[in-house]
């Protein structure tokens, strides 16, 4: 049973990953047909534990990125939910987005915190930049990650890769 899930992602095979954030502090994996496969996590601050897994995304290699908001980190897992790494140079991720591969095959991770800062890292977690404005949101569309400026209403958008 879900306890106020917060986000969903789909891997390259169509499997479904649910950030079951507020009550259960876990990530659940389902087949593309909706059959339960496994879940990981419980409330805590150790690797594989979460304090409000609030957002989830995947890269082109099938890795799953979980924005562990209460622990101010992003935990990365392979598609079988085995731990890969922890990215801890971001603040409380409320939303994350991974850009499509560019011409060189490189992808970037964008993480937005509660104050509106957006952190840009490579997929290993190296910090590449910070958008400091408190008036941004981050989202994903068919063109890649999109920054929305203007607070509660979109005044301008900028596609980023």
**Residue 141 pLDDT more than 60?**
no
d(CA 102, CA 41): 33
User: How confident is the model over 78-125, as pLDDT tens digits?
Assistant: 999 999 999 999 988 988 999 999 999 999 999 988 877 889 999 999
| Beta carbons of 90 and 73 less than 8 angstroms apart | yes
| Residue corresponding to tokens 């534990």 | 49
Backbone dihedral angles phi then psi of residue 133, each to the nearest 5 degrees: -65, 140
> What is this structure's pTM?
0.86
């Amino acid at each position: 049973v879900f306890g106020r899930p917060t986000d969903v992602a789909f891997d390259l095979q169509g499997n479904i990953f649910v950030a079951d954030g507020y009550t259960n502090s876990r990530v659940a994996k389902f087949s593309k047909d909706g059959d339960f496969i496994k879940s990981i996590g419980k409330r805590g601050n150790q690797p594989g534990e979460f304090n409000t897994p609030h957002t989830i995304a995947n890269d082109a290699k099938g890795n799953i990125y979980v924005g562990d908001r209460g622990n101010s980190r992003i935990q990365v897992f392979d598609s079988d939910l085995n731990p890969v790494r922890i990215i801890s140079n971001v603040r409380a991720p409320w939303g994350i987005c991974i850009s499509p591969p560019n011409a060189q095959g490189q992808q970037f991770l964008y993480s937005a915190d509660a104050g509106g800062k957006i952190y840009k890292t490579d997929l290993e977690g190296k910090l590449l930049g910070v958008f400091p404005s408190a008036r941004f949101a981050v989202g994903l569309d068919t063109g890649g990650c999109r920054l929305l400026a203007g607070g509660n209403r979109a005044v301008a958008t900028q596609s980023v890769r």
